[in-house]
A and B are shown apart, each in its own frame.
Chain A
């Protein structure tokens, strides 16, 4: 017993020392990382000009002063107007100055109310008709978008920026590896409004429909949400553009499992597996295998090639038998 206590003191001391050293090392490394990042941002062409705006718009607060009383007070910056520097300087628009897109009058503070009504640029305004951006098919995207339910329902109030934040936009779909993160980021665009009543009400008076409840028919719901983009089922696919922008009305959304889980696809296999196991769990092996195996419905073995080959083989066999029978009959008559 005594021996155990004797060893406990040095161990405790070591743990304490390690904890203090580790904390200070972590603090130092965080600081140096922030400095390194800041140095990286300074390479941006409009860094110095942007600092004037970003000192408020990236800090989470701004200082409001009253010229009559001479008092100053810090106020929280609304999230919608907060532009984290790390996101802006990693976005596709990192080389831009704030006043390239926004009025130079924003340099005056407090900002005039009329400025809030300045028309925002749409993607097509800068990228349309430009050979440098031809590969992104902005014109086709714009044409698809004007067909979409967003454009029609919101009477033109809906803009590109409702889904694509110009201050942080990165083209995830054009990166080399499409990971689950890509799906999550893509769905985040939809859920920012369709999962947040406050944001939805900025555009519409409609109530939230409850994404999870609306999709309760979907097997393995959480897995689908993690692995499938909302637009896979809720938009009309157009092979000319990478990402469909024609968002369909809810009644036209795909709810037929076979659309994805069919033919020679891994998805077909996973649905077959899912339905077989679920059926076995619900009805037991004998009942699910013999009486009610719905898994077949998706056409696990449907292959046109096999269908044709099967018929051909059987017909050729019958033909050979018919010829053989013909000669047998002829022989018996001789």
Chain B
């Protein structure tokens, strides 16, 4: 079987990806520290965690704009277009592969090709993370920076409290996404091959 290389990650994607990775890690670590801090112990000093979280959150918003506009104006956006027809079946096949087929050397049901950068499970999880969870994090995060615009009360509960809870919940989901994303990245040709690809821009395919 001949080995082929596809240029999947243009420079702007790689710049955005590295920015996104650094800022998300800063946000997750400072966010965890803030969420679980108490007067006796904090993972990162409280004031420091607040500053890091706010700085990284604001920066991530602008970095997200780069991703959003890049996807809108370049070819990269086509990889995120989801076909709903037969989606459940495709998702099942991919989950089955990760859970069983992978271990018995079955071929990947949706291998990477020039027209398919993500398998169906990746496509759905990236769409949810990047087009639903992240925007919700931005909206709630910015709302907490400008709390005068938050509803005073919703269903008898403080609007700020609800906004903060939604922000934390979305933060947990992004943390979850990152952990799974990093793990799945080790399932390439070799455990490090996908990490090399996002640095060089080229991905090896069979």
Contacts and interface: CB of A to CB of B under 8 A. Distances in A.
B144 interface: yes
B168 interface: yes
B117 interface: no
Given A313-B172, A314-B175, A324-B183, A269 B35 contact: no
Contacts of B34: 296, 301
B103 interface: yes
A276 to B, nearest CB: 5
Interface in B134-148: 144-148
A303 to B, nearest CB: 6
A289 interface: yes
A324 B102 CA distance: 10
A3 B176 CA distance: 83
A333 interface: no
Interface stretch (A58-66, A199-207, A260-268): A260-268
A276 B160 CA distance: 12
Contacts of A273: 147-148, 150, 160
Contacts of B55: 290
A277 B148 contact: yes
Interface residues of A, number: 37
A254 to B, nearest CB: 18
A272 B160 contact: yes
Interface string B51-94: 10011001000000000000000000000000000000000000
A269 B164 CA distance: 10
Contacts of A266: 152-153, 158
A165 interface: no
Contacts of A269: 147, 150, 152, 158-161
B54 A310 contact: no
Of A263, A276, A301, A318, most B-chain CB atoms within 10 Å: A301
Interface in B26-64: 34-36, 46-47, 50-51, 54-55, 58
Given A268-B158, A300-B164, A331-B103, A310 B183 contact: no
A321 B182 CA distance: 11
Contacts of A114: none
A306 B172 CA distance: 10
A317 interface: yes
B169 interface: yes
Given A276-B145, A321-B179, A264 B172 contact: no
Contacts of A295: 147
A264 B161 contact: yes
Given A289-B145, A300-B144, A265 B158 contact: yes
Nearest to A305: B165
Interface in A277-334: 277, 285, 289-293, 295-297, 300-303, 306-307, 309-310, 313-314, 317-318, 321, 324-325, 327-328, 331
10 contacts: A264-B161, A265-B158, A265-B161, A276-B148, A296-B34, A297-B46, A300-B160, A310-B35, A314-B175, A327-B103
> Shortest 6 CB-CB distances between A and B: which pairs?
A301-B164, A269-B160, A269-B158, A273-B147, A300-B164, A310-B172
